[in-house]
Amino acid sequence: MSVIKNKLLLIFIHGFKGHDTNFEETRSNLDIESIVYPTYNTKGDFKVVVNEFCEWLEIIVKEREDEIKFDYRNDSGQVLVCLFGHSMGGILGADAILKYRINSSVIQNPPKIIGLIGFDTPYYGLHEEISSIAIKKATNITQSIKSSGLLTGFNALATITVGCVAGVAGIAGIAILNRQKIYEWVESHLKYVGILWNFEELEKRMEDIISLSDITFHCFYTQLLPNEEDSSSSFFTSSSTRTFISLPPPKMKKYFSTIECNLKDEIDAHIDMFKVETEHYPKFRQETFQKVNEILDHWETMRLSQLEY
C-alpha cells in the first residue's frame, strides 16, 4: 500500500533566515521544508516583482512534487505552501495569491497556497507619522542635492518622491551623478513603494484576500507603547499608538495581532522584530507557531469537507 505523504513549504519573503524544526513535531504525516526567497530588487514595477516571485515558486513546487512521486511512488501527496512576508514581502505574497486566483483558468496546476502570514506588513499603508519622517528626510536630501546645482526644475518632485523612497525603501544614501540618474533612481524605486499610497488598492487587496475561504490570513505588527520618559526616541510627536504600519479598520482587526516591542523606536521594531535576543521574541515565535497550526487545521477541515461531497 502506498504511503500518502504531503509536504508543506514555508516560503519566507524579504530578509528571513527560516528553519523548520519548530513545526516537525506535531505533523507526522507532513514533511516540512523552509525556503527563503532569494533577495529581490525593491524597485521597478511591483507587478513584475510579483511575476518573478510566482515563476520562482512554480519551479520550487514542481521540483517538490516530482520528489514526492519518486520517494513514495504515488501521485496522492500534495505540496502545500504557506507564505511568510515581512514588510513589503507580505504584499508581494498577497498579490501572488490573487494573481493565481484571477488567472485560475489560464495557469495550469498553480501552487497550492493555504496561508499567508504578514509581519509588520503595511497592508493599509505606513503610519502617518512614519510617512512624515520620509518627508523630513526629503528636505535634507533635497537641500543636499540643491547645493550641488543639479536640481533645476526638479525641486518639487524631488522633495516628495526622493524622501518617500529613501524613507520607505530604506536606502541610506545616494550617489548622485547627474540629473538623468536622479530621475531614473526616483522613478524606479517609486514604482515599487508607490503602492503604499494607493489606499483604494490597499483596501481592495485585503478584501479580496479575506474573501478566499481556503486561505488563512493573519498579520503580526510591532507596537511600542507610549513612553513619556523617553519620547525623544520615538518618531511620533504625540502619545498615539506607536506602530510602523497604519492600523487596519475595525472590521479587519481580528486578522491582525500586536507584538509589543521594547525597542528604541518604530523603525528598530520593524527591522529587529525577528532578533532572538529581544524580549518579545519568545512569545512572538510561539504565536507564529500556533498560527501555522491553525492554517494546517483549516486546510484539513476544508479537505475533509470536500471529500464528503
pLDDT for res 75: 62
- Please name which of 246, 283, 282, 244 lies closest in space to residue 264, comparing C-alpha atoms: 244
Give the phi and the psi of residue 112 in degrees, each rounded to 5.
Answer: -85, 85
| Residue spans of beta strands (DSSP E) within the chain | 6-13, 30-36, 79-86, 112-119, 216-224, 242-243, 256-260
Residues 248, 124: Cα–Cα separation, whole Å: 6
CB 209 within 8 A of CB 97: yes
Percent of all residues in the chain with a pLDDT value above 70, rounded to a whole number: 65
Is residue 4 within 8 A of residue 77, CB to CB? The reply is yes
Q: Mind listing the pLDDT tens digit for each residue in 75-118?
A: 667 899 999 999 889 999 999 999 999 887 778 889 999 999 99
Please give the pLDDT value at position 187. Answer: 55
pLDDT of 237-284, one tens digit each? 555 678 999 999 999 999 999 999 988 888 888 888 888 888 999 999
Bigger pLDDT: 161 vs 248: 248
Mean pLDDT of 16-33: 57
Show Cβ contacts of residue 165 under 8 Å, excluding neighbours closer than 6 positions. Answer: 134, 171, 185, 186, 189, 190, 193
Residues with Cβ < 8 Å from 70, sequence gap 6 or more?
none
Question: Which CATH fold would you assign to the domain 6-126+198-307?
Answer: Rossmann fold (3.40.50)
Can you tell me whether residue 237 is helix, strand or coil? Answer: coil
Q: Could you tell me the residue ranges of all domains in the chain? A: 6-126+198-307
Position 128 scores a pLDDT of 80
User: Coil, strand, or helix at residue 209?
Assistant: helix
- Whole-number mean pLDDT of the chain? 77
What letter does residue 255 receive in the DSSP assignment? Answer: G
Q: Report the distance separating Cα 169 and Cα 164, nearest Å.
A: 8
Q: Say how far apart CA 44 and CA 59 lie, in whole Å.
A: 23
Look at 5-19, 101-115, 226-240 and tell me which has the smallest mean pLDDT.
Answer: 226-240
Report the amino acid identity of residue 12: F
Model confidence at 144, pLDDT cuts 50, 70, 90, reads low
Q: How far apart are CA 151 and CA 78, in angstroms?
A: 56
Convert the pLDDT of each residue in 271-308 to its tens digit.
888 888 889 999 999 999 999 999 999 999 988 887 76
% of the chain residues with pLDDT over 90? 39
Please state, in angstroms and as integers, the Cα–Cα distance from residue 289 to each residue in 25, 84, 293, following that order. Answer: 11, 12, 6
The span from the CA of 71 to the CA of 289, in Å, is: 28
pLDDT at residue 101, rounded to an integer: 92
The predicted pLDDT at position 106 comes to 73
97, 64 contact by CB (below 8 A): no
Give residue 147's pLDDT band: very low, low, confident or very high (50, 70, 90): low
